[in-house]
Amino acid sequence: MVIFVSLNDNIFHLELEMRLTERKIVATLRQHSYKLTPQRRVVIQAIASNQEHLTPTAIYEKVHHHHLICSNCGKVVDFPSCELEEAQQSLSKQTGFRIDDHLLEFIGLCQACQKEIT
């Protein structure tokens, strides 16, 4: 965000850092009594790590893939490949449910938190 200030016919540019940091977002959520679920942490990281304005669709596209999530510190690690196509087709056939998409998350402890605990 850039603010233009005119002073004695001179224009000065004041550039304000308006980027939301992960810490600011977490603080705001806590202030309003929201739980920091693993899913919210993934969305927060997607927003905080991006330099541009994100639409809800862009956020969804950044986070609708598979994750390993640390239940202690909230660290999120993406894992790229998913071999669930056969299971998805079988499940759809068994239940009659039309499956449009899926989301897979494994929740546990990252290596750093495992070392802290032991």
pLDDT digits (tens, 9 = 90+) for 62-114: 877 788 888 888 888 887 767 788 888 999 999 999 988 777 888 899 999 99
Structural domains for the chain: 22-63 (no CATH), 65-118 (3.30.1490.190)
Q: Does the pLDDT value for residue 6 go beyond 50?
A: no
Which residues are CB-contacts of 81 (< 8 A; sequence separation ≥ 6)?
none
CA dihedral 23, 110, 61, 21 (to 10 degrees): 10
pLDDT interval class at 1 (50, 70, 90):
very low
**Residue range 12-43, pLDDT digits in tens:** 443 334 456 888 888 888 999 998 887 888 88
